[in-house]
Every structure is written in structure tokens, then in C-alpha cells.
A and B are shown apart, each in its own frame.
Chain A
Amino acid sequence: MYRPVPLILIASILALFIGWGGGGYLAWSRASATLAALPAAPVVTAAEYDREARVLAVTLTNPGLVPIELVSKTLVLRPAEGGKDVALLDVAFSGGSLTLPPASLERLELALEPGDPKLSVGDVLAASIAYRYPEIADLYLLTHSFVAGSEDAPEKDGADGADASKDETPTVGGDDAGEDTR
């Protein structure tokens, strides 16, 4: 009796190939959709302090595929030699909030107010950013500690030193500091 052995072999190999490919395609698309639905935490990739403009520029990246809504920003100064923490800024973003699109990189500028104390070497500037995800009710907090180096806060010369001593009294926040106390 006839028995198509080569045909059975070829058909088995083809069936394995098609099942592997099609099943792999379906599993891959389901897995990538699941991964894309998972929210990712924002990551600070760089932070630099502009001494003249008195601005802490923080570069934030959203590594995931879910947009992140930045709600508010907070700056806290912790002096190197003793003293109390000084809350410099605690405000909502202009326009209510700022959205980090999926897989994006954004530069965020946190400006110190004119009345805020000067940075000296070793001071820690803690930048906290509250964020939330769509469809999740919770609020998350990201804190980045920036330690002022010698290039950020050079040794005090005449004018700078006088300015720093004048600003030694802690001045809390900016004009709208009491508006958003979280």
C-alpha cells in the first residue's frame, strides 16, 4: 500500500514552521501590547545648575509607552553646614500640568526666586516632582538630589559673599508658595 512518507515529513516541517511563526506573532503582539500598557517611572538623566540664571535644569525621560502627567514641582535647599531645610518652591506647572509623551526626553527648568539664598559648595538642592498616570488615581513623587559642586557655587568673593549673607534668612517659596502645600 502507498504511504507518502516524504509528503508527511514535508507537511510536518511546514506545519511546525507555520505554527511557530503564527503563534510567535500572536504571542509577540499580545506581549508587546501588555508591555505598552505598563506605566514606567520617569528617570532623571541629567541635572545641571546655571549659576547666573539660578536655574536647576533637570532632564526627565519617560522610558515607557504610557504618558506621564507632571503635576507639581518642589525645590528644597539643605545647607551643607547645619541649618534648617529651606523650601524654595512648591508650585503647579504653568497650565496646570505638563505631560511627558511616551518614550520622550524633556528638559525641565526649576528657577529659584530672586529672594532665595545662594548655593554654596556642598548644599543639596532636592527637586521633587509629583506625577500621575492616566487611569490611575494615585499621585507619585520623584525626588532628585542635586549636590552643589565648586563650579556651581564658587568660593565666595566680595559681592557674592555679601549677597549670600544678606539672603541667609530663609524665605519660603515664591509668590504662590502657600497655594499648593502638599
Chain B
Amino acid sequence: MIRERETAWRLDWRRHLVFALLAAVFALSVAGLAFGLAAAVPVTPLPQEIAFALGLLVFALLGNRLLFGYGFLVSYLQAVHAGRTDPKQDQRAFMRSRAWPVHRAGELTRAGVALFWAERLDPDRYAFFGAFALLLLVTAVTALDPVANLLTGGFLEGAVWGAAVPVFFVFLLEALARWQIDELLAEQVIWADPRPAGERS
């Protein structure tokens, strides 16, 4: 039932039209951004802008593992919810969850695999948000003292705003993954249906 609706929705020509329009808008905005950047190149960047870019770059590098980890987890859970997982995808998820030292393949439900996967990313998440909290703390404390604020010159604030962008995406993906795991657990635990989500009527 779900699978048929999914297939029908996937083949709908209107969906193709919407995606073509979105792709055109995306291409136009990328081109506009490129032209805008090309126009902005002769302008000397301000120290504050460099601080913003540095904060964004450093935290994007620091959160790279989390962004991709939660991104793959979210896409796997979406496939699970839509009921279109194949054995290869399940196997890859099992490998990525690092559950294999204690469990054999097929022993765990998909929610269990996802729980292992999310838990594996927890130390990285703790370090990432901890680094952001430390940066926030240092910025707030130096902003309290007028002399220290004069010395740092508002550059720390720029680094915080730049770092807030990857932090926001990590937070969003992690919350989405938790939401999806909770949905899956609710389906499996509360309704106690042994069949996978996709095979239920």
C-alpha cells in the first residue's frame, strides 16, 4: 500500500516539474552568488569578516564527522520510515553503527541499529557543542570587561556568529535523527508489531 503510493508519487510528472523549477532556482542563486562574489573580490575583506569566515570554517571542519554521520543516519531512517530499505542499505547501516563488536548482523532491529549509530556519534557531538560553548563563554566574559573587549575588538563575536552556522546544522540533523528514532521506537515498542515499518499495512 505504502510502496504503491510511493511509486506512484515518484513517477508523477508534476513532481518532476517542481524539481526542475527548484533546480533552476538553485542554479540561478548559485550563479548570482558567484557573480556577487566575483564583484566582491576587489573589496578588501574586513577583519570582522575574516573572523566570521574563520569561525565558520573551523567549526565546519570540527563538525564534519557529525554533519555526515547524522546526515547518513537521517537518510537511512527516512528510507526505513518510507519502507524502501534493501538488505545492502541495512548492512551498511549496521557497519556504520559500530554495533558489530557486540552484535551479529540481523540480531538487531533497525531502531536498535539506529540507536547504536546515534550513540556512536555522541562523543563527537559532546566535543563539538563543548567547543562552541567554550567559545561562547570566552566571548561573553571578554565582552563583560571594557578593556578586554577593546583588545578583542569584537572579532570573537564574529567567530561566534560564523560558528553558529555549522552548529545550527548539526543541531538540526541530530534533533531530526532523534525524532525519527523516537518515531521508530514508538512504532516498534508501543505497537509491538514485529514486521518492519514498510511491510505493515
Interface residues of A (CB under 8 A from B): 1-2, 4, 7, 10-11, 14-15, 18, 21-22, 25-26, 29-30, 33
**Given A4-B176, A4-B179, A29-B48, do A22 and B81 touch, yes or no (CB 8 Å)?**
no
Given A2-B179, A18-B164, A21-B164, 15 extra CB contacts under 8 A: A7-B172, A7-B176, A10-B175, A11-B175, A14-B168, A14-B171, A14-B172, A18-B165, A22-B164, A25-B157, A26-B49, A26-B52, A29-B48, A29-B49, A29-B154
| Chain B hits for A1, CB < 8 A | 81
B157-175 residues at the A interface, CB under 8 angstroms: 157-158, 161-162, 164-165, 168, 171-172, 175
Find the A residue at minimum CB distance from B158: A25
Total interface residues in chain B, CB < 8 Å: 20
* Bound-complex Cα distance A15 to B157 (A): 17
Does B46 make an interface contact (CB < 8 A)? yes
The 4 tightest CB contacts between A and B, nearest first, are: A29-B48, A22-B161, A2-B183, A4-B179
Bitwise interface map of B from 52 to 77 toward A, beta carbon under 8 Å scored 1, else 0: 10000000000000000000000000
B37 to chain A, nearest CB (A): 14
Does B180 make an interface contact (CB < 8 A)? yes
Interface residues of B (CB under 8 A from A): 46, 48-49, 52, 81, 154, 157-158, 161-162, 164-165, 168, 171-172, 175-176, 179-180, 183
* Bound-complex Cα distance A18 to B55 (A): 14
A28 to chain B, nearest CB (A): 8
* Bound-complex Cα distance A30 to B172 (A): 30
* Bound-complex Cα distance A26 to B40 (A): 14
B22 to chain A, nearest CB (A): 18
A-B contacts counted at CB < 8 A amount to 48
| Chain A hits for B164, CB < 8 A | 18, 21-22
Q: Is the CB of A7 within 8 A of B48?
A: no
* Bound-complex Cα distance A20 to B7 (A): 41
Find the B residue at minimum CB distance from A10: B175
* Bound-complex Cα distance A26 to B157 (A): 10
Q: Is the CB of B46 within 8 A of A30?
A: yes
Find the B residue at minimum CB distance from A24: B161
| Chain A hits for B183, CB < 8 A | 2
Q: Is the CB of B46 within 8 A of A18?
A: no
9 contacts between A and B (CB under 8 A): A2-B81, A7-B172, A7-B175, A7-B176, A18-B161, A25-B157, A26-B48, A29-B49, A29-B154
Find the A residue at minimum CB distance from B171: A14
Find the B residue at minimum CB distance from A11: B172
| Chain B hits for A11, CB < 8 A | 168, 172, 175
**Given A18-B168, A22-B162, A29-B154, do A2 and B180 touch, yes or no (CB 8 Å)?**
yes
* Bound-complex Cα distance A11 to B175 (A): 10
* Bound-complex Cα distance A58 to B30 (A): 58
| Chain A hits for B49, CB < 8 A | 26, 29-30
B3 to chain A, nearest CB (A): 13
**Given A26-B49, A26-B52, A33-B46, do A21 and B175 touch, yes or no (CB 8 Å)?**
no
